[in-house]
């Protein structure tokens, strides 16, 4: 019964947006985007608390959100970690252990609506504003982002080129906002009138259309060194996303894996990251 209920709730939202768009496309778009941004998972679980409590650093106020940061101090370059959608800083524990062993200085934070940070919603421009605040505050030389975190890192570097950043790593990251929005449309089964209204809404609010938000386009002007890691069988973010980014990013290296999934916590992945950061 619970699975059946969960299946029909998205469809009910879609029908609601279809009807609303007949009265007001702007209202339907705003409501649909609001639902799109809701974070449903990613809060700290009891098992995660002891690890994160020890590393709590500061609480930064960014765009009316209280953002929890974490720090693991080291003598080498500072590395900023950006987790993915509906995750939190705990997801980095395996990589952090290797970064500490290599004596890197590590900064991480929970995105809005995630972990210990405040809020219930997040989108990439908001996440990027948080990342830029951390870059300005801590001056990292390297950024590592998983999934939407990687997408955010590349968008932010396009919007706010940072002289301190030397290297960017993305792990299983999507590239095209259009692909994400088409998946959202399919999930809720709303019509193209709603999608067109959302396109106008996004452009009015953020200054770009849904199709214009493309990290494979953003990296054409990226002069930093990049490492892209993506699994061919990734069921969450399509493999071709990193292929497209790599094709357009002159300074990038692409590591393809098969059978490691989307989360990619494996030693071989983390060791590749350490080698890249030390190289």
- Render pLDDT for 156-196 as a digit per residue (tens, 0 to 9): 999 999 999 999 999 999 999 999 999 999 999 999 999 99
pLDDT of residue 9: 84
In angstroms, the CA 105 to CA 119 distance is 28
113 with 88: CB under 8 angstroms? no
Percentage of the residues of the chain whose pLDDT score is greater than 90? 96
pLDDT of residue 2: 46
User: Alpha carbon 278 to chain centroid distance?
Assistant: 24
Average pLDDT of the residues in 107-119: 98
What pTM was computed for the model? 0.95
Q: Is 2 exposed, middle or buried (0-12, 13-18, 19+ CB in 10 A)?
A: exposed
Q: Tell me: pLDDT of 1 over 90.
A: no
Give the start-end residues of each E strand in the chain: 56-62, 65-72, 78-82, 105-109, 142-146, 167-171, 225-231, 252-257
Q: Nearest-CA neighbor of 14 among 254, 130, 184, 265?
A: 184
Please indicate whether residue 212 or residue 8 has the higher confidence score (pLDDT). Answer: 212
Q: Tell me: pLDDT of 3 over 90.
A: no
The pLDDT tens digits of the residues spanning 257-266 come to 999 999 999 9
pLDDT of residue 5: 42
- Residue 162 tokens read as 């940072």
In angstroms, the CA 70 to CA 16 distance is 41
pLDDT of residue 11: 86
User: Alpha carbon 77 to chain centroid distance?
Assistant: 22
Strand order of the β-sheet with 105-109 is 56-62, 65-72, 105-109, 78-82, 142-146, 167-171, 225-231, 252-257
107 with 135: CB under 8 angstroms? no
Average pLDDT of the residues in 104-112: 98
**Domains, the chain, ranges and CATH?**
1-37+177-212 (no CATH), 45-175+214-278 (3.40.50.1820)
pLDDT of residue 107: 98
Q: Tell me: pLDDT of 218 over 90.
A: yes
Contacts with 3 (C-beta within 8 Å, 6 or more apart), sequence order = none
The pLDDT tens digits of the residues spanning 25-74 come to 999 999 999 999 999 999 999 999 999 999 999 999 999 999 999 999 99
Looking from the CA of 66 toward its CB, the CA atoms found within 13 Å total 6
Which CA distances in Å does 162 have to 134, 141, 153, 154, 267? 12, 9, 11, 11, 30
């Amino acid at each position: 019964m619970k699975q059946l209920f969960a299946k029909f709730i998205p469809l009910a939202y879609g029908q609601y947006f279809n009807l609303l768009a007949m009265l007001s496309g702007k209202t339907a778009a705003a409501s649909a985007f609001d639902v799109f941004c809701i974070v449903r998972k990613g809060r700290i679980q009891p098992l995660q608390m002891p690890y994160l409590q020890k590393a709590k650093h500061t609480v930064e106020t960014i765009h009316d959100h209280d953002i929890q940061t974490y720090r693991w101090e080291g003598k080498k370059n500072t590395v900023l970690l950006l987790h993915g959608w509906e995750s939190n800083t705990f997801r980095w524990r395996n990589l952090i252990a290797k970064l500490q062993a290599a004596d890197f200085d590590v900064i991480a934070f929970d995105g809005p609506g995630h972990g210990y940070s405040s809020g219930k919603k997040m989108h990439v421009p908001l996440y990027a504003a948080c990342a830029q605040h951390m870059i300005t505050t801590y001056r990292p030389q390297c950024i590592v982002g998983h999934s939407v975190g990687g997408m955010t890192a590349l968008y932010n570097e396009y919007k706010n080129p940072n002289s301190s950043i030397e290297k960017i790593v993305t792990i299983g990251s999507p590239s095209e906002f259009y692909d994400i929005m088409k998946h959202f449309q399919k999930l809720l089964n709303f019509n193209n009138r709603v999608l067109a209204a959302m396109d106008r809404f996004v452009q009015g609010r953020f200054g770009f259309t849904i199709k214009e938000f493309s990290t494979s386009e953003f990296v054409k002007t990226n002069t930093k060194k990049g490492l892209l890691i993506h699994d061919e069988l990734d069921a969450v973010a399509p493999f071709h996303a990193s292929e497209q980014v790599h094709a357009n990013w002159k300074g990038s290296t692409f590591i393809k894996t098969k059978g490691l999934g989307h989360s990619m916590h494996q030693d071989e992945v983390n060791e590749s990251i350490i080698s890249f950061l030390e190289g």
